[in-house]
Homo-oligomer: A and B are copies of this chain.
């Protein structure tokens, strides 16, 4: 019943637990490094960058709820981030013609220009931070991460 010889070595649950700790440590380390660099080099934050990245993919704008779905964060969260981006002149809210409840968040021209710079640095940083992985490693890693996804929501 129990899968092949696991009790002879380590229970599978312990293996998975250790794997999770490793995964968490890795992403936390990289995320922390990115956050630090965004702050030091561009005086901005990772959440701001994430929102700008989403908006840059939709030049016509995104509803607040679409934005929170896309980024998988709460509604109230994006409200605050878009507020601050708006104060910075990087984003703005425009009314939706047929629906007075909704608003579209969009990047301003300044926001687009700023994001272009950020995105270039971001990609270069990751290229550096993931130097240890070649193309084959990346493919395998990407595939294994995909195997963790259950039957729920895709992307």
Interface residues of A (CB under 8 A from B): 3, 6, 12-20, 22-32, 72, 122-124, 126-127, 129-135, 137-138, 140-142, 144-150, 155
Contact = CB atoms under 8 A, between A and B. Distances in A.
27 contacts: A3-B134, A12-B127, A12-B135, A13-B126, A16-B133, A17-B123, A17-B126, A19-B133, A19-B138, A20-B30, A20-B129, A22-B142, A22-B145, A22-B146, A23-B23, A23-B30, A23-B145, A24-B27, A26-B145, A26-B149, A28-B72, A29-B72, A131-B150, A132-B149, A132-B150, A140-B144, A141-B141
Nearest to A25: B155
A83 to B, nearest CB: 23
A127 B13 contact: yes
Contacts of A144: 133, 137, 140-141, 144
Contact of A13 (B18, B124, B147): B124
* In the A-B complex, the 3 residue pairs with the closest CB atoms: A13-B127, A132-B147, A27-B27
